Structure 1
Amino acid sequence: MVAVASILIQFNALTGCSSSNGDSKASTTTDSAATQAAAPVADSVRKESSAPTAVADTATEADPLKADTLKFSGTLPDTLLPNHRILAYYGNPHSTRMGILGEYPRKEMLRRLDQEAARWQKADPSKPIQKALHLVAISAQGSPQKDGKYRLRMSDKTIRKVISWGAQHGAIVFLDIQVGLADLKGEMEYLEKYLKLPYVHLGIDPEFSMKSGAKPGTKIGTYDAADINKAIQFLSRVAKENNLPPKVLVVHRFTQRMVTNYQNIKLDPRVAVVIDMDGWGPPSLKIDSYRDYIVKEPVQYTGFKLFYKNDLKKVDKRSKHKVPHLMEPEEVLALDPKPLYIQYQ
């Protein structure tokens, strides 16, 4: 396989107020290497750096470019939401530090996804679990590319590889966009050929939409309702032209300014819109963020993100727990409304 070609620095954009959580999602990756530094920053946003960890693509499974590897295993529901609860593993296969999707070898990662899905199904038997893989397919960068857009598109091989993992395992796939200084429309068009598959859906991350021209990772970005409407219209057209079931659009959010003019978001029957509470921290802060930024500004469906590592950085002083605590399914399901999209990083 191809050897490691480059190493990129990863940034974290974090918040530190009492009603929100910092987010240390991975923001950069390449088809060969990625790094992460995860340190909370109080009341500020700043670039963090650490010694890079290179991860080569050494996959040996069947050629993911072959069409037969993209055939969905199992029955694909005609309508996912609100009839199902989606349980997604987030990350990139070329980074062990961007999220659970790339932290373990494929078979181990999928085994863990199955176990997590079983826990959630037991916690709420009334709502069938639909497993998912959530790939950072276009990643914000700390340095400009040749076009100066501060974002990197994953290769066709990488994207199809993850799609094939999902297809063979009965898991739908989300392709996530971190635009940097690029235009959302152009990045969606880059992914359109994959979105024509009935089990491939879209995620967009306002955190790395740098409308001010700032470098990704130095400030928290933003999307307006007009941007989200463009994504809805784009997915609606893809669904209509290809006679597909409704698409799902996941919009990440953990601050007030990450989504502006929410009341102007225009829903479409061909697209299910999820606003995903994307911050990390102790449970009480995560619940506050869900209440303040998701529930108070409702769009359609809600999501909730859990961090296997970053949620365990601090003790929750407003709970009975004496050690850092990752929220259990039952705790998340006690929220109102109950999130229909659950993501683990």
Structure 2
Amino acid sequence: MVVTVVVLAVLVGTLALVVGSQGRPQAWSPRGASTAPSAGASAVTTRAAPTPTPSPAVLAARVRAPQEAATVLAADDPVAAAVQASSAVFASAPVVVIAPDDDPAAQATGASAAVAVGGPLLLMTGSTADRPVRAEIVRLAARAVLVVGSASTRALPESLALVPVPADADAEELAAVTGARTPVTATGAPTPSASSRATPPATRRPARVPGLVGLTGAGGDTTAAVATLRAARIPLVAVPGADPRASTHTVRALAKAEATYVVALGAAFGPADRLAARVATAATGTLAPGGGQLVFPSVEGVPAKRYVALYGSPGSGALGVLGEQDVPATIARAQKVARHYRPLTDAAVVPAVEVIATIASAEPGDDGDYSRERPVAELRPLVEAAGEAGLAVVLDLQPGRTDFLTQAKRYRELLELPYVGLALDPEWRLEPDQEHLAQIGSVGVDEVDAVGDWLAELTASRRLPQKMFVLHQFSLRMVEGRERLDTSHDELAIVIHVDGQGTQPAKQGTWRTLRRGAPAVHWGWKNFFDEDSPMLTPQQTYQVDPVPDLVTYQ
């Protein structure tokens, strides 16, 4: 207890020394150290550091993903197209660029300025057409406008800082565009006073929205709309023919961009829902035989395609040349036959195999349908080898007394492959009381359309490249109601394959008859090694008018 009191007394005494006689705090020093300045030393005066001038805030526009997977900007007027582009991708923009609608040079300068400041480029007419432009600038909550050339500013809100930019500004002038500029009046003329200067807020480019891609190349590529998408840091993909599936380049570009949302410039891109489905397919990056994802592309700058195929069933030479050799030899033979056609056309000639999956049978079989359905496992080696070699594959159905759709569904797992299409052979479609070879079979168009509906839905749901859908025919009676054939499925390329055999005059007559009054489809021609007299050479085959899109050999 005595020790505790002594220690407390020492601490209290020490605290009193620190506080001092007048109670003002003094600098505390360790015992034995002096707090007084040494002789000759001057006192040090501490000054407060100056308050730094705050840096101006750096602003950025905000880019938004569209609500829908595909947005088509269909306006054909450049002024309206520019507003549409801005509205589609910008949620806000502190700086906007305007240029005259009738001055291409000023628009080019404005495009560079828009990309530099990360804001949209809008076009001014000096008329009432500028009202939507004003509304868009207000919606963007803009603080400043870069006025390129003689762009009219009459419609702009008075609160905006207006910064003139020469119509022919060079790179150095554009680089300084965010510096002090002589303000302009509402009429667009510079104010006489140079002492008052307008400076746009400091900006940086907006954050990129992942998966947002712009589509161009379909006739809607106005300078302002393209510049606005570039200012939003949206990668642009040129789409020949407005179908993103048409070219290998486009498919690969959309796959690389992992496209989730697209903004397409031009009405040619068509309905937004159709475009969204096409983009979803292209974004997989999966290519069809011959490149791209279309069976028969008809787009400027993209090579057309034609196909040359062997027909038959693996392991059975009696059913066609396809089965006369093993799988590797079949692939090599198909490639060799196709090579003979390549010097005859500017189109890409794609080798193919048409594989009979269900074979018309003289016996009813266990299921009583007079059709022998080959197991998927028996067909898979040839189908997969063909796909790996770049060949197109078509599965052919000869259904007997059952219907085409029932048989098609048996081969769903093969039809889910991106290079496999489907063929229907009505010659072998029987009524419940019929047998093969007692008559020529036939099918109603409604049954054909039901298969087309199912195949199109399968293709769309699996985001597969377009599929070839072949309808064999050598007599008008074989397809009842053919004029009502549904050719509207974007996922399918329909071919009517003319199977006539015999003399060439007879075959040409069948060709002309079947083409008369036909729906809008592609056309196929078959050469028979044994039944034709004579069989046409490749040169003669491509002299058929019109040139067949698909040639098969049986």
TM-score (norm 1): 0.72
- Give, in angstroms, the shift of residue 88 of structure 1: 1.0
1:297 aligns with 2:518: yes
CA contact (8 A) 1:135 1:175 kept: yes
Distance in 2, Cα, partners of 1:122 & 1:250: 26
1:87 aligns with 2:308: yes
> Hey, what does 1:343 align to over in structure 2?
552
1:150 to 355, 370, 377: 370
Distance in 1, Cα, partners of 2:288 & 2:412: 22
> Hey, what does 2:493 align to over in structure 1?
272
1:237-259 deviation line (CA, Å, top 9, x unaligned): 01111001111111111112011
CA contact (8 A) 1:73 1:167 kept: no
Distance in 2, Cα, partners of 1:228 & 1:328: 32
Aligned with 1:79: secondary structure?
coil
1:257 aligns with 2:477: yes
> Hey, what does 1:245 align to over in structure 2?
465
1:265-321 deviation line (CA, Å, top 9, x unaligned): 111111111000112112111111111113442441100001112214xxxxxxxxx
In 2 relative to 1, CA 259–288 (structure 1 residues): closer, same or farther, beyond 3 Å? Answer: same
State the Cα RMSD in Å.
1.9
Distance in 1, Cα, partners of 2:316 & 2:359: 12
Letter paired with 2:414: Y
Distance in 2, Cα, partners of 1:327 & 1:102: 21
In 2 relative to 1, CA 75–327 (structure 1 residues): closer, same or farther, beyond 3 Å? Answer: closer
- Give, in angstroms, the shift of residue 263 of structure 1: 1.2
- Structure 1: segments with no counterpart, 5+ residues: 1-70, 313-324
Aligned with 1:311: secondary structure?
coil
2:452 to 207, 232, 240: 232
- Give, in angstroms, the shift of residue 169 of structure 1: 1.8
CA contact (8 A) 2:524 2:548 kept: yes
In 2 relative to 1, CA 297–77 (structure 1 residues): closer, same or farther, beyond 3 Å? Answer: same
> Hey, what does 1:328 align to over in structure 2?
537
> Hey, what does 2:224 align to over in structure 1?
none
Q: How does 1:120-199 map to 2 (within 5 A)?
A: 120-124=341-345, 126-199=346-419
1:215 aligns with 2:435: yes
Distance in 1, Cα, partners of 2:518 & 2:306: 21
- Give, in angstroms, the shift of residue 76 of structure 1: 4.3
- Give, in angstroms, the shift of residue 342 of structure 1: 0.7
Give 4+ residue runs of structure 1 displaced > 4 Å after superposition. 71-76
1:113-146 deviation line (CA, Å, top 9, x unaligned): 222111111111x110111111100111111111
In 2 relative to 1, CA 307–156 (structure 1 residues): closer, same or farther, beyond 3 Å? Answer: same
> Hey, what does 2:128 align to over in structure 1?
none
1:19-69 deviation line (CA, Å, top 9, x unaligned): xxxxxxxxxxxxxxxxxxxxxxxxxxxxxxxxxxxxxxxxxxxxxxxxxxx
TM-score (norm 2): 0.45
CA contact (8 A) 1:262 1:299 kept: no
Distance in 2, Cα, partners of 1:207 & 1:90: 16
CA contact (8 A) 2:401 2:431 kept: yes
Distance in 2, Cα, partners of 1:180 & 1:283: 30
> Hey, what does 2:530 align to over in structure 1?
309
Q: Which moved more, 1:246-255 or 1:295-304?
A: 295-304
Taking only the aligned residue pairs, the percentage that are identical comes to 26
> Hey, what does 2:326 align to over in structure 1?
105
Distance in 1, Cα, partners of 2:440 & 2:360: 12
- Give, in angstroms, the shift of residue 189 of structure 1: 0.9
Distance in 1, Cα, partners of 2:550 & 2:476: 20
CA contact (8 A) 2:289 2:392 kept: no
CA contact (8 A) 1:141 1:151 kept: yes
Q: Which has the higher contact order (CA 8 A, sep 6+)?
A: 1
2:317 to 96, 121, 131: 96
Letter paired with 2:504: P
Distance in 2, Cα, partners of 1:195 & 1:148: 25
Distance in 2, Cα, partners of 1:75 & 1:275: 21
1:138-182 deviation line (CA, Å, top 9, x unaligned): 111111111211111101221211212212321111111101001
- Give, in angstroms, the shift of residue 87 of structure 1: 1.1
1:60-109 deviation line (CA, Å, top 9, x unaligned): xxxxxxxxxxx999764311214310111110112111111111233333
> Hey, what does 1:32 align to over in structure 2?
none
Letter paired with 1:113: A
Q: Give the helix-richer structure, 1 or 2.
A: 2
CA contact (8 A) 1:72 1:168 kept: no
Letter paired with 2:480: T
Distance in 1, Cα, partners of 2:317 & 2:498: 23
- Give, in angstroms, the shift of residue 194 of structure 1: 1.0
> Hey, what does 2:421 align to over in structure 1?
201
1:283 aligns with 2:498: no
